[in-house]
Amino acid sequence: MNSNQLVALAPIMTLATATIAVMLTIAIRRNFVLTSSVAAGGIIMTLLVLGIAWQETPIQATLLIRVDDYALFFMALLLLAGLAVLGFCYDYFKYREGENEELLLLLLTALLGASVLVASSHFATFFLGLEMLSISLFVLIGYPLNQKRPLEAAIKYLILSGVSSAFLLMGMALIYAQIGELYFSGIGQFIASQPAMNAMILSGVILIVAGLGFKLSLVPFHLWTPDVYQGAPAPITAFIATVSKGAVFVLLLRFFISAHSHVYTPLLTVFSVIAVLSILGGNLLALLQNNVKRLLAYSSIAHMGYLLVAFIAGGSIAPTLAVESVTFYLIAYFITTIGAFGVVSVLSTQQTEAGDISFYRGLFWRRPWLSGTFTLMLLSLAGIPLTAGFIGKFYIFTSGADGRLWGLLVAIIAGSGLGLYYYLKIIVVMSMNVEATTHESEESSSEWISTATLATLSLLLVWLGIYPDQLITIIQSVSNMMR
């Protein structure tokens, strides 16, 4: 390995070093504030090192990892999301019973797995990164050991995550048995050289898609999502909904673009059916929910369906537009979802999770700042103009129109209409008469980190909705690297 490859790998090595530093900090002295500071410092240091690694891209850093603008851009997005979640975790767990320092260690190992995932160019790093992420999430979900619901959610996630991993391994085995190759590019070249896709290769790709469908909670692989979202601590739910799903989707896009349209074409019908079911199923089931976390869980299923439309368009049009659409939509989705669950986190107490919609009745009169922030996040999820969510949904619609995916566009329109209804339902509940509320929540001056994080997310949401040009320019340069 030469010096250029070491520099390219520096972000991953820095994050691994930060993880070890947090582990040693816990071993030397148990202090939640100190451990949180070391973890945050490690993430910030990794973000700074990304700038150094950018100078060496694109490069095959090892036989298994490719570091390019695409990988580094999404590493930065995942690290920033992890930093925001860390801020909410600090305020959420600092007064909770038990020793909570290991939670921060698990967050860093999950981020490390996600970073390896987005830079993978081989099935070995694909699987290792995914399992590092999934195992960390399983423990994070069940971290409050004295509560029944998180433990139940962790067990459900563990079982279904194991099933999805079995699908993935079987799919990889079938592809390797036929091709003798585990590199994404090598698989694409082999398939391109064949007159038609072999049945064994097609079966392997379908099994991989099914396994990733579990991770992305796409219909019909979505059944774990509402229970896990409801049972997990609010900041961890934000992490699952953004970092976990985002890393998997980025990997999925890289794999299929590396394998070229020869892999896309036979599966377009399957992807289209999954997208329609996810969009309509997620939105329809969200209409029936009275728990905000479950509602946002079904909403996330629908949003993964929207992303899948741009992904499908990548097999019909130039893949750069698909990457551009997915990237902007993911950024908007990260901001809004972390912000929404951040509000849930701030409202939660040591005794009760602020999941039931009754917690939000009259919130506008009790805590107007939180109510306004939550309203902004919900409007962005609905795709209302002057928010980043509107620009993201416009991108998805544009990519679908360029790909002439008219049936999927009808599903997007119908799903967006349904989504607007249940988002507005929460906003109406928050504006109800304060006398009708059954849950009082006094604002705490100790929540300043969460407040600052929510303020930053709100500013980004509006800024990208009004003036997205600079971000779009950066995304376009990243998209061109995928040609």
pLDDT of residue 317: 54
pLDDT at residue 303 in the model: 93
**What single-letter DSSP state applies at residue 242?**
I
Q: For position 454, what pLDDT does the model report?
A: 93
- Amino acid (one-letter) located at 26: I
Arithmetic mean of pLDDT, 114-143 = 91
Whole-prediction pTM value?
0.92
pLDDT of residue 438: 47
Entry field: residues in the chain: 483
Q: Flag whether 46 is in a domain.
A: no
Is 374 a member of any domain? yes
Query: How distant, in Å, are the alpha carbons of 89, 341, 343 from that of 94?
Result: 8, 18, 17
Q: What letter does residue 383 receive in the DSSP assignment?
A: T
Question: What is the rounded distance in angstroms from the CA atom of residue 229 to the CA atom of residue 163?
Answer: 19
DSSP reduced 3-state for 183: strand
Q: Residue 431 in contact with residue 320, Cβ under 8 Å? A: no
Q: Where are the alpha helices (DSSP H) in 29-100?
A: 32-54, 69-93
Q: Is the pLDDT of residue 213 over 60?
A: yes
pLDDT value for 404: 82
In Å, what is the CA distance from 259 to each residue of 185, 399, 483? 6, 20, 12
Q: Tokens standing for 147?
A: 């509560």
pLDDT, tens digit (0-9, with 9 covering 90-100), for 400-423:
888 788 889 999 999 999 999 999
List all residues 6 or more positions away from 2 whose beta carbon is below 8 Å from its beta carbon: none
- Does the structure show a pLDDT above 80 at 445? no
pLDDT, position 437: 45
- Give the model's pLDDT for residue 436: 45
Helices then strands, counting H and E runs in the chain, come out as 21, 2
Full DSSP string of 258-276: HT-HHHHHHHHHHHHHHHH
Task: Please state at what angle helix 101-118 crosses helix 69-93, rounded to 10 degrees.
Answer: 170
User: Residue 125: inside a domain, yes or no?
Assistant: no
What average pLDDT does the structure give for the chain? 87
Residue 355: per-residue pLDDT = 81
Beta-carbon neighbour count of residue 343 at 10 Å?
Answer: 27
Q: Tell me whether residue 79 is in a domain.
A: no
The answer to whether residue 20 sits within a structural domain is no
- How high is the pLDDT of residue 448? 83
Residue bearing the bigger pLDDT, 443 or 12: 12
User: How confident is the model at residue 435, as a pLDDT?
Assistant: 56
- Which has the higher per-residue pLDDT, 60 or 335? 335
- Which whole-number Å values give the CA distances from 316 to 166, 189, 404, in the listed order? 30, 19, 8
> Considering the domain boundaries, does residue 433 fall inside one?
yes
Q: For 133-157, how does the pLDDT look when each residue is reduced to its tens digit (9 = 90+)? A: 999 999 999 888 778 888 999 999 9
394 within some domain: yes
What is the pLDDT at residue 365?
87
**Assigned domain for 142 exists:** no
Tens digits of per-residue pLDDT, 253-301?
887 777 655 555 667 788 889 999 999 999 999 998 889 999 999 999 9
Residue-range definition of the domain harbouring residue 474: 262-483
**Burial of residue 55 (number of CB atoms within 10 Å: 0-12, 13-18, 19+):** exposed
Residue 305: count of CB within 10 angstroms of its CB: 27
Region 36-65 average pLDDT: 89
Domain count within the chain: 1
Nearest to 77 by CA among 212, 236, 241, 243: 243
- 447 vs 233, more confident: 233
pLDDT in tens, 91-113: 888 877 777 888 999 999 999 99
